[in-house]
Amino acid sequence: MTASEEDKKFSKQLIGKTVVSKTGKRFGEVGDIIFETNSGELIHLVLENPTTYTEKLELEKTKEGETLIPFSAVIAIGDFMVVSEEDII
């Protein structure tokens, strides 16, 4: 498997995971991932079904109004995707 195939497989595993903060606040689910095409670097998670808590945070949004979370805020990936709230806001 090439590196890009490996990355695609990894990305597919992230779609649908629930995004939570370190303190357990629920943000929504990963609907999509935005990455830099040249380097393959993951840039943003696109949130699906954002919670009311997330809506209040006034996070960056796509032109279509989808909520974005910087991938740099992700601190752990397991059953859930855990993000550091301090790195988002």
Domains of the chain: 3-87 (2.30.30.240)
User: Which residue in the block uniquely carries the two structure tokens 């979370």?
Assistant: 69
- Return all residues near 17 (Cβ < 8 A) that are at least 6 apart: 29, 30, 77, 79, 80, 81
Instruction: Give, for all 89 residues of the chain, the pLDDT tens digit.
Output: 555 677 677 778 899 999 999 999 999 999 999 988 888 888 999 999 999 999 888 899 999 999 999 999 999 999 999 999 888 86
Buried b (16+ CB within 10 A) or exposed e, 60-82: eeeeeebbbbbbebbeeeeeebb
